Chain A
């Protein structure tokens, strides 16, 4: 007998089920196959706030759930821009800051309730961000990334130097949420909506244009479409998600300040995308729900936190560089079995 008697056989599941546009409604098996992962995700996210008191975590962790969701919005925006439009944006902090300050200013100066300030800050902030980033849109790759990185740093110092918008103290006394349940569930619903909305968008015709811009922008121009216009639309969508998170953040902490331009908001979504798997949209979201709590939990170790954090990130990059969700999705769509050689 030779040493190799068996080999692993991998088969892709029926292409019919996975092809977009052909709906698998022919049997319960196929429907379950498609719906189950989505259902687990949605139910899991919705149960999260309930599980915190049940499992005996302190109320402080409720805030962590909201924070993870806000980072999740940023990560969705980052993944959308990076993997579907080809713009690597380090502007998470920029979006959060603009959204936070817009919401806080609307709330303080006009006395609007969060019901109005959050949508207004989302749209208004997205318009501001898109207009400011418009000159940088012809840039690609690392050049665009650097411009987006400079904006939050510059705005932070401008606010500090000119002492506008409350200067270093920030804007205090912004209205909060009635209770923590609304606070958590609203943002979780928003995240779920954003995730499935974006996933649908990238497979629509306009989403194909975005992907075309990433793949081959000259070809898009030869097809009679303005790449600057479509990049601007994409930046509007991504910055809208970020500004929504920022506005939410301002209302959670009842405060908007220059620390909302902190680089954490730019860096953690990228780390989450690395862990979760870029181009899947759901991966970066789950990455945030993994990284943010870990980061909070590691606070007990003081400054050693950064060491552990780095080790975790390095381990992911070295052993699962494609990202967890890319791996998981591939395995989910495969049959794997041992066959006799």
Chain B
């Protein structure tokens, strides 16, 4: 493992029957950076995250996290190592209030081991700690919102709840699967500083995004996937100037203008 890489993914392959979802995808994520993964629909981005976090067993390949092989571990073991993920289609516990949603990750071995203010312990019970985390992620503490059933929360809060579930585990690396999708422009605008704050807290982020403009504000490097294969990787401006990438993205020549108009 080379110095400074928190995640090293080597030659990951996954086929669903005859469909090759991922073919020899390799990339490295450095500690503390925001790494973007982009690509057209169906290019295998979510499958890649599922393979890394163990939700799908990959056919071949190797994933090193902090120099440790986590290739074929169970999702809960991987999460306990500090590699957490959000779901593109939000998966809250709909029958529980928002703050009780967080008690479940706070109950995990990692959160209990880490203790501190996020893991409960001396600084209050898990309910108190989960309210603290929710406040940090943008739930108003003194409002009813944290106490509302997750089923009655709007998309924006559910996306934040996904991130909060990761934070409750005190992660070192979060794989964000489209946290900006389905949000209004103003909601996205309020999410971006949150992402920046997480990065400043020393958390490494891998973000799958379709909202390129917002992604490029925070990401230092991006990787482009197309039909399960890695097209290119580099700093955003370089990547978007690549002819292959333009072709993959609808063949749109307007793409660059759109992306950097702001």
Contacts and interface: CB of A to CB of B under 8 A. Distances in A.
A and B, one complex?
A: yes
Interface of A: 19, 21, 205-206, 208-209, 211-212, 214-216, 218-227
Given A219-B93, A225-B109, 5 more contacts: A208-B100, A209-B104, A212-B96, A219-B165, A223-B168
Q: Which of B106, B108, B169 has the most CB of A within 10 A?
A: B108
B118 interface: no
7 contacts: A208-B100, A216-B92, A222-B75, A222-B84, A224-B76, A224-B80, A225-B109
Interface residues on B, range: 20 to 34
Interface string B86-129: 01000111111000110111111111000000000000001100
A111 B110 CA distance: 47
Contacts of B96: 208, 211-212, 215
B249 interface: no
B80 A219 contact: no
Contacts of B53: 222
Contacts of A223: 76, 79, 104-105, 107-108, 165, 168-169
Nearest to A206: B107
A224 B91 contact: no
Nearest to A219: B91
Contacts of B108: 223-225
Interface in B52-89: 53, 55, 74-76, 79-80, 84-85, 87
- What 6 A-B pairs have minimum CB-CB distances, sorted nearest first? A224-B108, A224-B79, A223-B105, A215-B93, A219-B91, A221-B75
Contact of A221 (B74, B110, B168): B74
Nearest to B104: A212
Contacts of A208: 96, 100, 103-104, 107
Nearest to B94: A215
Contacts of B110: 224
B74 A220 contact: no
Interface of B: 53, 55, 74-76, 79-80, 84-85, 87, 91-96, 100-101, 103-111, 126-127, 147, 165, 168-169
Contacts of B74: 221, 226
Please report whether the interface of chain A is mostly helix, strand, loop or mixed according to DSSP.
helix
A226 B62 CA distance: 23
A19 B147 CA distance: 10
B231 to A, nearest CB: 28
B92 to A, nearest CB: 7
Nearest to A215: B93
Q: Which of A21, A221, A224, A225 has the most CB of B within 10 A?
A: A224
A226 B137 CA distance: 26
B85 A222 contact: yes
A39 to B, nearest CB: 28
Contact of A224 (B92, B101, B109): B109
A226 B76 contact: yes
A218 B109 contact: no
Nearest to B82: A224
A224 B166 CA distance: 10
B252 to A, nearest CB: 34
Contacts of A216: 91-94
B95 A215 contact: yes
A218 B76 contact: no
A103 to B, nearest CB: 34
B67 to A, nearest CB: 20
A205 B95 CA distance: 15
B219 to A, nearest CB: 23
A224 B103 contact: no
A21 B127 CA distance: 10
A224 B169 contact: yes
A211 B79 contact: no
